[in-house]
């Protein structure tokens, strides 16, 4: 199963791979070179298919849990000053996605969207300290009775060139459902109330829609 945001790129990649394979057969007589070109084209197609895969996840709904919004590795757990929306101290949990991770963004909790904003920007590597302030990104705030307001930020990486964000102010959202997509490498930061009990540790690999990041 593939994400809808990848349908155009997948179609183009299929056509490109077929064209390369046929051209290699037609124009190149050296069998070794011909097969090498075809294998490389096929490998690139498989990489595209893997990037846009959208595995079905069954999320146990729990208003007292914050679940992982994306697949990836936990690279930051620290208290920081969130300057865009809260303008106070928050507990940040940052998840880095490599190009081979699933890049679907899922809602970390059920509730309502109270803020959603897109910021154009640079394409620094996703783990760069200034990426959360200078890269292309979206800022979204969710609210429910258990946690109050929780902010998440989709951040484009060095390879990413488009962030897709479905969250609109006033939307009623359901934990684990599709919140967007980041194409080709990225990171998502969660900003939780200070003192929120955390269920993960640094360098832990998490699955979006499955693993519990924090609880009340």
pLDDT in the model for residue 124: 65
Pair 127, 75: CB distance under 8 Å: yes
Q: What is the pLDDT of residues 13-64, one digit of tens each?
A: 889 888 998 888 888 888 888 889 989 989 888 877 777 778 888 999 999 9
Name the residues annotated as catalytic: 186
Q: How confident is the model at residue 160 (pLDDT cuts 50, 70, 90)?
A: low
Reply yes or no on whether the pLDDT at 95 is more than 90.
yes
Residue-wise over 146-164: b if at least 16 C-beta within 10 A, else e?
ebebbbbbbbbbbebeebb
Q: What is the pTM of this model?
A: 0.83
Pair 168, 143: CB distance under 8 Å: no
Closest CA to 206 of 98, 125, 109, 63: 98
Could you tell me which residue, 189 or 135, shows the higher pLDDT?
189
Number of other CB atoms surrounding residue 207 within 10 Å: 16
pLDDT in the model for residue 6: 66
pLDDT in the model for residue 131: 61
Cβ neighbourhood burial of 199 (10 Å; 0-12, 13-18, 19+): middle
pLDDT in the model for residue 8: 84
pLDDT in the model for residue 51: 72
Ranges 86-95, 131-140, 147-156, 206-215: which has the least confidence: 131-140
Locus of tokens 């070179």: 33
Pair 126, 185: CB distance under 8 Å: yes
Ranges 45-54, 62-71, 172-181, 200-209: which has the least confidence: 45-54
């Amino acid at each position: 199963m593939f994400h809808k945001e990848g349908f155009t790129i997948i179609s183009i990649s299929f056509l490109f791979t077929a064209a390369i394979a046929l051209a290699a057969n037609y124009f190149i007589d050296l069998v070794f070179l011909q097969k090498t070109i075809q294998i490389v084209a096929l490998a690139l197609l498989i990489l595209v298919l893997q990037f846009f895969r959208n595995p079905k996840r069954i999320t146990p709904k729990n208003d007292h849990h914050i679940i992982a919004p994306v697949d990836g590795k936990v690279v930051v757990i620290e208290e920081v000053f969130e300057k865009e929306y809260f303008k106070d101290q928050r507990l940040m949990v940052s998840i880095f996605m490599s190009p081979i991770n699933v890049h679907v963004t899922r809602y970390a909790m059920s509730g309502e969207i109270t803020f959603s904003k897109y910021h154009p920007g640079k394409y620094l590597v996703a783990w760069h300290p200034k990426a959360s302030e200078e890269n292309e990104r979206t800022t979204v705030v969710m609210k429910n009775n258990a946690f109050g307001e929780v902010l998440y930020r989709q951040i484009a990486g060095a390879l990413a060139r488009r962030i897709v964000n479905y969250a609109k102010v006033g939307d009623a959202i359901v934990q684990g459902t599709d919140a967007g997509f980041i194409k080709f490498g990225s990171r998502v930061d969660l900003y939780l109330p200070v003192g929120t009990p955390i269920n993960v540790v640094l360098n832990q690999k998490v699955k979006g829609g499955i693993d519990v990041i924090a609880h009340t």
